[in-house]
Amino acid sequence: MTQIYLARHGETEWNAIRRVQGWTDIPLSARGVAQAEALGDRLGGMALTAVYSSDLGRAMETARPAADRHGLVVTPLQELREKRFGDWEGLTQTELERDYAELWYRYHTERDLNAVVPNGETWPQVLSRMAGALVAILRDHPGPEDAVLVVGHGGSGRVIILQALQAALPTLLRLHLDNASLSRMDFHGKAESRVVLLNDTSHLRHLSGGDA
């Protein structure tokens, strides 16, 4: 069995003001750094055997405290990046409602998974690359005692949970991952899997203000 611990990166300033990030490389805020340290403490007593991260800075920064506690190196994977939002990156919800009113309504209100952001990725494209990354990780860490930390993002991270649930893509809309949250999935190869922990933020309770 391979245990996959999935963490979303800590908070950034753009998270706090609800500005679209996507592939834009935004660092952690001071709160995000504190969240990453708390996550590292949470994982400190677990026998991690490897740490993988999206290659974007906010994810790498979140992964390092846990990796350091285990004497491990963070392996960056571009395939673990957030969904690319193209022309929307850097814009706030107010700006999107103003400049992309019809598309924003389809994407955000109607939750249309086929709505295509200009120069962005589609959800099926994200699913394809995240599935490939998961297959590669499971191949390199087949168990029986492997425990792997994967640090990613709120959107693309949910796709890994879909893989564990063997659920259809629309299930994505019924999942949520908070900043620096921790989830766990157990895999017996790719065919047999289960979600054991989902969006746990108990390690962040001592941090005041903002969303967990």
pLDDT truncated to tens, each residue of the chain (212 aa)?
999 999 999 999 999 999 999 999 999 999 999 999 999 999 999 999 999 999 999 999 999 999 999 999 999 999 999 999 999 999 999 999 999 999 999 999 999 999 999 999 999 999 999 999 999 999 999 988 899 999 999 999 999 999 999 999 999 999 999 999 999 999 997 679 999 999 999 999 999 654 33
Cβ 147 vs Cβ 6: under 8 Å = no
Whether residues 47 and 97 share a domain: the answer is no
The answer to whether residue 176 is catalytic is no
Q: Work out the number of other CB atoms within 10 angstroms of the CB of residue 153.
A: 24
Pair 98, 190 in one domain: no
Tokens of 100: 């992309």
* 160 and 135 in a common domain: yes
Q: Is residue 195 part of a domain?
A: yes
Q: Both 18 and 62 in a single domain?
A: yes
Report which of 172, 84, 160, 170 is spatially closest to residue 121, judged by C-alpha positions. 84
Number of other CB atoms surrounding residue 35 within 10 Å:
29
210 occurs within a structural domain: no
99 with 169, same domain?
A: no
Question: Are 12 and 89 in the same domain?
Answer: no
- Same domain as 39, residue 78: yes
Instruction: Please report whether residue 62 resides in a domain.
Output: yes
- Please provide residue 129's backbone torsions phi and psi, each rounded to the nearest 5 degrees: -75, -35
Q: Are residues 114 and 143 in the same domain?
A: no
State how far the alpha carbon of 157 is from the alpha carbons of 134, 152, 180, in Å. Answer: 11, 6, 12
- Omega cis (within 30) before 65: no
Q: Is 212 domain-assigned? A: no
Q: Is the pTM of this model over 0.85?
A: yes
Contacts of 177 (CB under 8 A, 6+ apart): 6, 8, 154, 157, 158, 183, 199
pLDDT at 191: 73
Same domain, 76 and 172: yes
CATH number at residue 169: 3.40.50.1240
Three-class secondary structure of residue 17 per DSSP: coil
Catalytic residue, chosen from 11, 79, 82, 121, is 82
Give yes or no: 82 in active site. yes
Residue 145 lies in a domain: yes
Number of domains in the chain: 2
Shared-domain flag, residues 105 and 196: no
Tell me if 37 is assigned to some domain: yes
- What is the residue range of 52's domain? 2-84+122-204
Asked whether residue 19 falls in the same domain as residue 78, the answer is yes
3-state DSSP helix/strand/coil % of the chain, to nearest 5: 45, 20, 35
How many whole angstroms separate alpha carbon 194 and alpha carbon 113? 25
